[in-house]
Amino acid sequence: MDKIFMNKMEFYGYHGAFAEENKLGQRFYVDVELEADLSKAAASDDLAESVDYAEVYETVKSVVEGPPFNLVEAIVQAVLNKIFQAFSIVERATVKVIKPDPPIPGHYDSVAVEMTRERG
């Protein structure tokens, strides 16, 4: 299976289990790996036979900058659901959502959740 990667897309959302996170918001980074048969696109050089990266970005943005979730896990699943709804060519997808500077005492980098799902 062929793959398309989109890495470190940056968004601002209001997700988290704490009221402050829902009020103040924060940055989120998203990595997406899409698996599809890209042979027709490669042969035809036609975007209609592939996945439009701008549309993927807007799809992810609609979730991450949309209504709040308590858990990063729920954000990831919602992104996966939207990807499969929007792009029929995608057979398998991996989505990783990175939450930098989580409100965890003594924790200074990030937390992340990654899930892989297949069209089913």
Please identify every residue annotated as catalytic. Answer: 99
Supply angle C-alpha 79, 64, 4, rounded to 5.
Answer: 45
Burial class (CB within 10 angstroms; exposed 0-12, middle 13-18, buried 19+) of 113: middle
DSSP state, residue 104: -
Say if residues 62 and 79 touch (Cβ distance below 8 Å): no
Q: Amino acid letter at 115?
A: M
Q: Amino acid letter at 81?
A: N
